[in-house]
Amino acid sequence: MAIKSMPKPAVIEDAAQISRSLALAFDDDPMMRWFFPADSSREASLTSYFSTIFTRQYVHNGVCERTDDAAAFWVPAEAQAKAVPDAETIQHLTDLLGERAGLFKDAVETAAQHTPQEPHWSLALIGADPACQGQGQGAALVRSGLAKADGAGLPVYLESSKKSNLPFYEHFGFTVRHEVQLPGGGPVLWGMWREPRPAGA
């Protein structure tokens, strides 16, 4: 495996690099295009969005890893209740989303109604700079997180609004658990589930 594909812990000092990679990765994501419809400002808005949730939320209560051009945020079972935005973070996101803030709130609440209740890890998000996709960086991050979840003997849940990404996750053992039509004319959200595997499987 190339050095640039080796996952390492993401720290708050990595925020600028991580936010830029994720902004580029999610530029064509249906849900992010719904939240940030203006082509001219989307990259800047997404960079601010990912910087906010990374520095204020996931780096403190999640398992965040990165490679040179990709990043993944995971939430262990014991941190699910903590890895949610506080009031100040919600205000930051509301200001950033502007008139789309109501749609964002409705989408989050709708998705939450379908979140599994049994103990599990969550893959909150993962993305790689499109210029570097195909180098195995995203796959390395998925394997790293799944190994931790498997070590805990727990399943993993994720959500994706990009149908073309489903085969990538299916390759790692995820199956579609449900489809959710987001309100207000939003995209479809696919909830995916993966049962834990024994070590070495």
pLDDT digits (tens, 9 = 90+) for 35-58: 999 999 999 999 999 999 999 999
User: Does a structural domain hold residue 147?
Assistant: yes
Mean pLDDT, rounded, for 108-124: 94
For the chain, what is the domain count? 1
Handedness of CA 191, 197, 199, 201 (dihedral sign): negative
Q: Is residue 200 part of a domain?
A: no
Query: What CATH number is associated with residue 103?
Result: 3.40.630.30
Token pair for 74: 């995971």
At residue 198 the predicted structure's pLDDT band, cuts being 50, 70 and 90, is confident
54 with 17: CB under 8 angstroms?
no
User: Model's pTM, two decimal places?
Assistant: 0.93
Residue 199: inside a domain, yes or no? no
Structural domain for 58, as ranges: 3-194
